[in-house]
Amino acid sequence: MSEQPEPSGRLTAELLEIALDAATRAGTFLRDGRPEDLGVAATKSSAIDVVTEMDIEAEKLITGLLTDRRPDDGLLGEEGASVEGSSGVEWVIDPIDGTVNYLYGLPSWAISIAARKDGETLVGVVHAPMRGELFRAVKGQGAFVNDRPARVRPAAEPSLALVSTGFGYLAERKAHQAEVVRQLIPEVRDIRRGGSAAIDLCDVAAGRLDAYYERGLNPWDYAAGDLIAREAGALTGGRPGEPLSPALTIAAPPGLFEVLQARLDDLGAWHD
């Protein structure tokens, strides 16, 4: 069987340039367009409606730019963008990863944009405007935060590992996820809950976390961050022998990854 040819440097350079442009524009729109009183709106539903509107408008901004620059590409987005495309390239978009943080005025929210060709992620960009950070990676070319190379921390012993996770929206799922954390926390240094999967994956890449895991993510949550983490030296996956997926996403340096993966499997972190 012949191997698939490597994507051309020209293609990946073009995809990266477009992703950076789209993420930066969306970040400016979301940062500058957020109402000052969003977190203290008169009713919860009205505040959430505003966030949904910002989410949808940001996705429209991103997809409009992408289709203008590369009209034959496919699209997969959290807010409903779904286009098959004919070029073999598909864009995977999360216009606001960390919407609750955005709602409350917390800084940990991001725009996540990945480009994949024939199912393989080639480019990943995560822009966290309130943190002033732009993470990027191209397959085989390393990962960067702003213009600095990003690299995972050396593998820590589990008892010294700072591990981040997240929780779903359904009460039953949260209850089981809390039980997993209850059993895991005595075995690690501490647990963090940042509220943005994309940023958590990038913080593993930048050496700010030893590991991250979560159940219930969608491809737009992890597509860009997964590549950034791997290009920074992390291993990523789901249950033993399986790729990362909505069932379970894990990222950690080699040495810690395997131990954490086995423990999370024992704890049933992959099911509700």
**Mean pLDDT in order along the chain per 10 residues (272 residues):** 63 98 98 77 52 90 97 92 92 96 94 96 98 98 98 98 96 96 98 98 98 97 98 98 97 98 98 94
Residue boundaries of the structural domains of the chain: 9-150, 158-267
Note the pLDDT of residue 42: 36
Note the pLDDT of residue 39: 54
Dihedrals φ, ψ of 70, to 5°? -140, 80
Note the pLDDT of residue 182: 98
Sequential DSSP letters for 136-158: EEETTS-EEETTEEE-PPPPPPG
How far from 48 is each of 39, 99, 113, 256, CA to CA, in Å? 9, 9, 23, 38
The amino acid sitting at 91 is W
**Secondary structure of residue 109 in the 3-state scheme:** coil
CATH number of 158-267: 3.40.190.80
Dihedrals φ, ψ of 189, to 5°? -65, -50
What's the token pair of residue 244?
A: 């990362």
Element containing residue 90 per DSSP (H, E): strand 89-97
Would the pTM of this model clear 0.75, i.e. be above it?
yes
Q: What is the second-level CATH architecture of the domain 9-150?
A: 2-Layer Sandwich (3.30)
**Quick one: CA torsion of 172, 177, 182, 185, rounded to 10 degrees?**
-170
**Secondary structure of residue 192 in the 3-state scheme:** strand
Q: 173: burial class by Cβ within 10 Å (0-12, 13-18, 19+)?
A: middle
